[in-house]
Structure 1
Amino acid sequence: MQGSIQKDKTTGKYYFIVDVGRDELTGKRRRKKKRGFTTKKEAEKALAIVLNELNLGTFIEPQLINLDSFIKEWFIERQTQLANSTIKNHKCLYRNHLKPKLGHYKL
């Protein structure tokens, strides 16, 4: 995996671009870009971390999901770890208080 560091001419800040592999469906290469570093050294450090994660296979590309989808997955995961009454109370609190006001927000 290769990456490059460049300086944005308009803002004067540094950013890096790294190849994160190929898209399985289209075959096109996927790239990750991270901006906003004040020094080149900061950008190099962040690039090294991402390259290390890619080499170890621990890199997870961020996804934009809403809170409602996340909480549904969380409840499924926690069903084996918490008592049924606790899950029932949590679902009730989420459904009545959090979901109507926050459920549509992206994480």
Structure 2
Amino acid sequence: MAHIRKRGKTYSYVIDLGREQLTGKRKQINKGGFIRKKDAEAAARKIEMALDENRYIELSKETFSEYIENWFVNHYQNRIKQTTVASSKYIIDKHILRENPFVGKEVSKITTEDIDGF
């Protein structure tokens, strides 16, 4: 259940998700800036419904370059011949990472305008 709290002139909610298995740290979803308490409650209910129905997707804080590096090492590299790895790595570094204007941006914040511009 969400906890609604007034912070200054606005309201915020916090939803406790329990603890992370690896670190033992608490996981929470929080969002603020709601003018009315009803708005914060409605937004929290939407998140809680998505959690109950296993539809909630946590936005990634991973940058584009981290995502590509992780994908290359953990997925792509294992599927190609070892002789192809070096040339593929060069192409990805030169054309996808170095010449990319959103390489340092979080994956969840990349827009269609970023992709069109690239």
Shorter-chain TM-score bucket reads: 0.5 to 0.7
Show structure 1 runs of 5+ residues with no match. 77-90
Residues 1:105 and 2:105 aligned together: yes
Q: Match of 1:80?
A: none
1:15-41 superposed Cα distances (whole Å, 9 cap, x missing partner): 000012320112332111101111111
- Give unpaired runs (5+ residues) of structure 2: 77-90, 110-118
Q: Which residue does the alignment assign to 2:24? A: 27
Please give the TM-score of this superposition, normalised by the length of structure 1: 0.64
Match of 1:84? none
Percent identity over paired residues: 26
SS at match of 1:49: helix
User: What is the RMSD computed on CA atoms of the aligned residues?
Assistant: 2.7
| Equivalences, count | 87
In structure 2, relative to structure 1, the CA distance for the partners of 1:6 and 1:65 (3 Å cut) is same
- After superposition, give the CA deviation of every residue in 1:39-85 in whole Å (9 maximum; x if it has no partner): 11110110000111111112122221223455686xx7xxxxxxxxx
